[in-house]
Structure 1
């Protein structure tokens, strides 16, 4: 008989939630059973992107960072999520707002203006679009710097020269990130067609 495949939510429960419950982590008495279940389901869904190692590390952190005098109550979800992000950032492609941004006219303008990587990295850092004039200036400046650097490194490689310092790995990152950002825009354009 074939074993049932473990779902994402079940994996988070097995590695993080159930061991913490066994260690004594609990909700306050005022939280209903239904609210407890909903909270832990949402937490499992929010953390399902993490690797097993990331979940183990988060569990160790949570064991010593519970709420209350006895440190035995579940921390606020926002605390858990922000700590999880510091251990292992959520892939940007999982953010619905990012997909909408790159699917919009803003994504096409970023592609046409050669700002895709700079805007993608802005999202990675701030989890929001560059909408203020200051943000847009910073993104434009960074995009120009990176495009120039990519051109210089590619030129050195074309001429048979060795890249300087870590330029080869930087170029690999830049090209890979460009493709990921282009895929976001392309999938949106194809979906709209």
Structure 2
């Protein structure tokens, strides 16, 4: 299954089905650690508590750095204790730019380009963020509670980061509704 999003002047095709709130993450993958993590990211790491997974096409671009920093700053104000992980299409050395210019970012980073082909394919299909005919991935934000998707955002305009403010507001609404049950 594919769907199209805007990238500059052209439309690109994203592979995989975008998960919906209520869907359970069932994929198996191991994405190599690149920053502030010792072990690869596995689906089991997203099965405990509330976790936001951020996907990034190129962390050397402003839009990706903005997504990393904005998510870090806003989430800790609004959802203390939230766990954040970032997966980038870049090689692990590109994460050094985050360390250099944004050393206060505490979220772990993982490099999809270093994953084996089966893990890469499983990951991009599970999150619906693979770019057809390319090793790139789309900007996206995914919140999971105990392995179940509760909020998802993949922007139609891929020249911009995901809207962290709107995403976190939606996540807060879901969390408040869950607490009032």
Same fold, judged at TM 0.5 (above): no
Q: Aligning the two structures, in what range does the TM-score lie when normalised by the shorter sequence?
A: under 0.3
Q: Is the strand fraction higher in 1 or 2?
A: 2
* TM-score normalised by the chain length of structure 2: 0.22
Higher RCO, 1 vs 2 (CA within 8 Å, ≥6 residues apart): 2
* Larger Rg over CA atoms: 1
* TM-score normalised by the chain length of structure 1: 0.21
